[in-house]
Amino acid sequence: MEKTQGWLSILGANPDVFYKHLFDVETPKYGAGRPSSWPLGHEMEYECRLGDMILCSKVREAYEVGFRGKKRDKPTAMEQLLGGTGDAVRVRRIAKVEQVSCDNCGLHLADADKPGGRFFYYCRQCKRSGRRFELCVACHVLEILQGEGKYSGNSFHPHYLKCQHRSTLIRRQSLENAYLDSPHLHRVLCDMCGGVVVGRGASDQCAKDGGSGGLPSKNRKGQELNDPHKKFYILASEFYACAHCPEQTGLRFELCVPCHNRISESGRGIQQLETTL
């Protein structure tokens, strides 16, 4: 405790009472880290990262003759709008690789037996698992842009030093709602636990963490959602975003609902303790 308070005073910082306990660890590290290491959420059984996406100009550079892999059907207009949140209900089919299309926007990219295809990225991690995930060049750029304004340093987000927990965090229903000027954003990772809140794979992540919504592959009653006649979507998981950080430091700050609530509860506890002392 003493040591922590010591280096906080060296930094000249006096964090909100709700955040003080976060500094009571030897090496504080919160958040999702570098965007290049963020999970892309292609599948839940393993983690694919940006470095796993390999650029190719021909289908046979990516998949040898005879390779068979499971690929999801092309995303519908609705699923494209969801930026991957609807993946869980997209039907996977196993087949030889005749053609390649973007799993994000559905664009047809190349045929195995015809010349003149476009450049595309395939996921080597998915391929190792007998699955396929492909992106067009534009959607790959979009994937890189998701890290825009996110803190990726080694210590902790300036929010924890400068912002007040209760007055700066606003509950958001969706990304558009939080960042009107950045319609290309389709991913939120929590700046506390590092978990995926919104984006490809968010659903299963949320289910694993005890749930702040998202799109489960089974609904609460355990019913399979793969029946196309019964499709239902929970558009986006809610999260909390700081209203100050983008203006003050140019950084986004986001918390998943469980992390936000945990901090609020322990903060209130500390406050009560201080007033009774």
Binding site for Zn ion (CB under 5 A): 42, 48, 102, 104-105, 107, 123, 125-126, 133, 136, 139, 159, 163, 190, 192-193, 242, 244-245, 253, 256, 259
Instruction: Report the distance separating Cα 165 and Cα 271, nearest Å.
Output: 13
Q: Locate 76 and state its tokens.
A: 């519908």
Q: Closest distance between Zn ion and the C-beta of residue 256, in Å? A: 3
Of the pair 3, 166, the CB lying nearest Zn ion is at 166
Of the pair 141, 272, the CB lying nearest Zn ion is at 141
**Pairing assessment for the beta strands 120-123 and 108-111 based on DSSP bridges:** unpaired
Q: Closest distance between Zn ion and the C-beta of residue 58, in Å? A: 18
* Sheet strand arrangement including 254-256: 169-172, 239-242, 254-256
Of the pair 12, 222, the CB lying nearest Zn ion is at 12
Q: Pick from 141, 185, 180, 191: which is nearest to 22 by CA?
A: 191
Q: Closest distance between Zn ion and the C-beta of residue 238, in Å? A: 12
Instruction: Report the distance separating Cα 206 and Cα 236, nearest Å.
Output: 11
**Pairing assessment for the beta strands 68-72 and 53-56 based on DSSP bridges:** unpaired
Instruction: Report the distance separating Cα 157 and Cα 259, nearest Å.
Output: 15
Of the pair 111, 224, the CB lying nearest Zn ion is at 111
**Amino acid letter for position 258:** P
- Cβ atoms of 151 and 253 within 8 Å: the answer is yes
Q: Closest distance between Zn ion and the C-beta of residue 6, in Å? A: 24
DSSP-derived secondary structure for 123-150? EHHHHHTTB--EEEHHHHHHHHHTTTT-
Q: Closest distance between Zn ion and the C-beta of residue 223, in Å? A: 27
Of the pair 102, 178, the CB lying nearest Zn ion is at 102
Of the pair 56, 123, the CB lying nearest Zn ion is at 123
Of the pair 147, 201, the CB lying nearest Zn ion is at 201
**Residues paired with residue 95 on neighbouring β-strands, in sequence order:** 69
Q: Closest distance between Zn ion and the C-beta of residue 106, in Å? A: 7
- Cβ atoms of 243 and 170 within 8 Å: the answer is yes
Q: Closest distance between Zn ion and the C-beta of residue 138, in Å? A: 6
